[in-house]
Structures are given as structure tokens and as C-alpha cells.
Structure 1
Amino acid sequence: MSGLRKVVTVVDEVLMDLGRPVATPVRRVAAAAVIRNPWAGRGFVADLQPGVESLAPGLGRLLTDRLIGALGGAERVEAFGKAAVVGLDGELEHGGALIHTPYFGNVLRELTEGTSIIVFSDDRLAAGAPLTVPLWHKTAAATRSHYQTVQIRVPDAPRPDEIVVVAAAASGPRPNARIGDRRSDPVVRLADLENAR
């Protein structure tokens, strides 16, 4: 892939929480591709579509393959998310162009057998800054137990003219999740809360 400098994969496996074993060990993975920003140094580029079409599908496949490999198959992916970090010479829109289109998102969703919209984060940061990537359930976004995050940091990226593109996934819910589900919540209105004071 043109402009690809490195790929970093971070695996976080939670076995204990607050000194007690978690009900089901959870593995969270973030895979990041460091690429040259194709729009850096060109001033305002009105049409980002050609770059998106040439880069995003390959990035989606590369990073999703890393996630699936680390978790042991698409069926082991329960939650997913995506992110982009733009170097200081780029626009936030450059990262968004690579992750917020079907050329990336649909690849990630299809390969992980998901149907939900994919939660995301993006930022413009100096090299080595950490990025927190949110995750939620791949087929039931309202499943509160799977609301969690994974953090990734690439010490030498993004350089000012680079973008770090991230796909992330988890094999299960947060450790010891127990705050219920949005579908079973009571109806709570602001007026009711104000009257309860």
C-alpha cells in the first residue's frame, strides 16, 4: 500500500478487576496503520474522494484482518470502533475522510459481521500522543455492557505529514458489566427528576 510506514497492534486482555476475576476475560485490540497524508502540504483540497477511494478500502481490510487475527475470528468480535489521528500539518477532515465513508466503515463492518453504525474518535495530535478509541456492540449499539474504550499510542506517529488510522474491537463486554441495558431502562424525564428533589 502506497505511503504505509508501519502497522502497530495493541492487545489488552482483562483477567482481574479490583482484585477479583472477571466473569469472562475480555480481549480488546487496536490496530493502527501509519500512512503518509496524501493531502498534506497541498493547501485546501476541495475533493478528497480520489484519495479516499484509493486508500480507505485497503486500510479497512488490513486493520480488520489484524483485529480478527488477534481475537481468533470474526465471530469473536463483539464490539468495534474506529479512529484517526492527523499530524499537525493536516486537517481533521483528512482523517475523517479515511474513516467516515463506506470505503472504510463498510469493510470493517462486513468483515467483522457487524450491522451497527461504528462509533469513532478523531483528533489532530503530535507524535506519540495517546488516542482513546470508543467501542460498542457490533450488532446492537444500545447494549450498554459493551460501551468501553481501548487506548493506542504510536511513539513516533503521526509525523506532521502523516495520519494514523485505527480499527479496534473487543471480544466481550466491559469487565463485570452490570448497569443494565438501554432497552430495559425506565422512562426518565427531566421534569420527574426535578420533582424528586
Structure 2
Amino acid sequence: MTDIIPTPDLPSLPIEDDARRFPVRRIFCIGRNYADHAKEMGAAAEAIFFMKPSDAVTTASRVPYPQASSDLHHEVELVLALGDGGAIMGCAVGVDLTRRDLQGAMKAKGGPWEIGKSFENSAPVGLLRFGPVPERGAISLKVNGVRRQSGDLSEMILPPRRVLSELARYFTLKPGDLVFTGTPAGVGPLQRDDQVKAEIAGLPPLEFTIS
């Protein structure tokens, strides 16, 4: 029996010092995992989960400004890459791009966040580094050379392994899953031609331009 349409391609991430790539199955995200960010958003410091589709991942150097929005925001995050049994294989720097105006409209209605979070190219991710996950170290983001976000991984309400433990209560974590672990304070708007540089101590930086 054959498929009625061509099998969709899985997006994948490049791996540092490895010719192979990491295919992306699902993307889990955690919101409000840094108290200062929750405060700036006017929300309780209580971690919550949501998801993005795998095709939200992009490694492009130019990321298009999304349709249907006039208020695109940046959120720098530590990203976990999972292998067999949901174990952490490695990690990378990522940015959760958010159509804040659409997210805000959904919040006001008590509706889901997908329209603000789960669009194409909304999850830029840098080079994946295999090895242990850092639980402390500087995390920051600059726009056009000006620092917008800064914090430390140790400020997470739920550190990486606690994030996975909570997720595992609701989902069977599988190889190819990515987990965005939350963002520190300082999120803000992006415009076309803005140059973004996201960094986490000890990991390859992520750089891209909004086009």
C-alpha cells in the first residue's frame, strides 16, 4: 500500500563536529519558567507547557517576518534534544518567536496560544552540541548589537531535568523531541532587517536576521 501524498520531510538540526543531523519529531515548550519574565508578562511565576509543530524549526540565516502580525517578539531559550527513552542527548541555543499581538488576543479570550506561537519558522535553533546539559551559565540575546535579554540558567523555576520529569507525566518522550525550556526577562519586538544574536555560555551562538 502506498501513501496518497508524498511523505513529508522531517526538519533536522546540524550537529557540532558530526556529519549526521538530528531529525526533529516534536517541539515542547515551557512558558513562565523564569520568575522575572513571568512578572514582566503580568503572569504568575508558574511554569506551563505548550507545543510547536516540527516545521516551526529553522536554521536559516534569514527568518521571514510572519504574516498576520505586527508585533513579533524574541525569547531566547536553552533547547534540549532528546534521544532513546527521552534522555537528553545534547542542547542548543534557540529563540521562541512569538506573534505577541495574536497571543494577547487569545489570552483575552481565554483561548489557546497556538496562533501566536506555532507558526512556520517560529523556532530558530543553533548548532546542536552533544553532551551534558548545563544547569547554570549566562543566557542572553542582542538585537543589532544591543543587549535585550540577560539572565542565568540557574534562575529557571524548573531546571532542565525537572522540566522533562513534568513533561513525562503527560507525554511519552521519544527520540527526536526538542524541549524549549523558557526565557529570561527582557523579551521585546523585532522589525525587518533586525540582526539577532542569541547566546548561552558554553554553546555555539545562534545568529539570524529578520527579513
Q: TM-score, normalised by structure 1?
A: 0.33
Q: TM-score, normalised by structure 2?
A: 0.31
Higher helix share: 1
Larger Rg: 1
